[in-house]
Chain A
Amino acid sequence: MARVVVDVMPKPEILDPQGQAVARALPRLGFEGVSDVRQGKHFELEVDDSVDDETLAKIAEGFLSNPVVEDFVVRRVDS
Chain B
Amino acid sequence: MKIGAVTFPGTLDDSDTIRAIEAAGADAVALWHGDADLRGVDAVILPGGFSYGDYLRAGAIARFAPVMDVIIDAAHKGMPVLGICNGFQVLCEAGLLPGALLRNAGLHFVCRDQWLKVENNTTAWTTRFEKDAEIIIPVKNMDGRFTASKSTVDELEGEGRVVFRYVGTNPNGSLDDIAGISDPTGRIVGLMPHPEHAIDALTGPSDDGLGLFLSLLDSVVTA
Contacts and interface: CB of A to CB of B under 8 A. Distances in A.
A25 to B, nearest CB: 12
A-side binding surface: helix, strand, loop or mixed? mixed
A10 B98 CA distance: 17
A18 B103 contact: yes
A63 B60 contact: yes
Contacts of B173: 15, 17
A47 interface: no
A14 B102 contact: yes
Interface string A9-43: 01000110110010000000000000000000000
B-side binding surface: helix, strand, loop or mixed? loop
Contacts of A68: 92, 98-100, 147-149
Given A14-B147, A64-B56, A69 B102 contact: yes
Contact of B147 (A18, A63, A64, A69): A69
B129 to A, nearest CB: 29
Interface residues of A, number: 11
Nearest to B101: A69
Interface string A41-73: 000000000000000000000011010110000
B107 A66 contact: no
B181 to A, nearest CB: 13
Interface of B: 56-57, 60, 64, 92-93, 98-100, 102-107, 145, 147-149, 173
26 contacts: A10-B102, A14-B102, A14-B147, A15-B102, A15-B105, A15-B145, A15-B147, A15-B173, A17-B103, A17-B104, A17-B107, A17-B173, A18-B107, A21-B107, A64-B56, A66-B57, A66-B60, A66-B93, A68-B92, A68-B98, A68-B99, A68-B148, A68-B149, A69-B100, A69-B102, A69-B147
